[in-house]
Amino acid sequence: MNSTEHHYKSLTKFLYSYGNILISILMVINILALFPRVSENKILIFPIVVALMVIYFVNRFYLLIYKNFPRKIRAEKDRIICEDFVFDKNRNETILYKDIVSIKGGIFDGKLSGLMKITDKNNLSIAFSDRISDSTKLIAKILEKVDKKIYDDVIENLKLLGKKLSSKVSKKVEI
């Protein structure tokens, strides 16, 4: 299997880069609209607190993305080369398959979608989404090359996912 290149479509790249700004602005507008009325109705404190929590958690998530989320990944014979990080376009990181000590999230944890994180023995981490082009090829290449113990753990998670999905399908058929 030769080198494969994976990237995100323009809209997905934009959302992963700047989505938190839009969400934060909407939450601040919400807070500013509700805050003057708090003296009239104390229950409005609840949506203000929820909006503040949304701002906090969304921006915390995006900080992870900014640090560990390349927008271009090249999977080669013995390594993964990551390029085009959000705020550091010149940053290039290389992870050798033999050095991977952990793969988590998304399909690796038996979920249908979500962010996946790879960590190597030097504590270098990269994250990518199932929305990356040809994600199944990238995931397959990673699983093909990682240590057998890591591979076996992921396969066990996939078996559990398969059981969950088949039980959901059989419940729908019964109805």
From first to last of its 175 residues, the chain has per-residue pLDDT tens of: 578 999 999 998 888 888 999 999 999 999 999 999 998 989 999 999 999 999 999 999 898 888 889 999 999 999 999 999 887 888 899 999 999 999 998 888 888 788 899 999 999 999 999 999 999 899 989 999 999 998 888 888 888 877 777 777 666 655 5
Q: How far apart are CA 151 and CA 143, in angstroms?
A: 6
DSSP string, 76-114: -SSEEEEEEETTBTT--EEEEGGGEEEEESGGGGT-SS-
Q: How far apart are CA 110 and CA 80, in angstroms?
A: 22
Q: How far apart are CA 100 and CA 97, in angstroms?
A: 5
Q: How far apart are CA 79 and CA 90, in angstroms?
A: 19
Residue 157's pLDDT is 82
Q: How far apart are CA 78 and CA 108, in angstroms?
A: 20
Contact, 35 vs 48, CB < 8 A? Answer: yes
Burial of residue 92 (number of CB atoms within 10 Å: 0-12, 13-18, 19+): middle
Place of tokens 């050798």: 96
Q: How far apart are CA 136 and CA 107, in angstroms?
A: 10
Residues 6+ apart with CB under 8 A from 55: 23, 24, 27, 28
Residue 122's pLDDT is 93
124-159 in b/e burial notation, b at 16+ Cβ within 10 A? ebbbbbbebeebeebbebbbebbeeebeebbeebee
Q: How far apart are CA 151 and CA 86, in angstroms?
A: 30
Residues 93, 95, 101, 106, CA torsion sign: positive
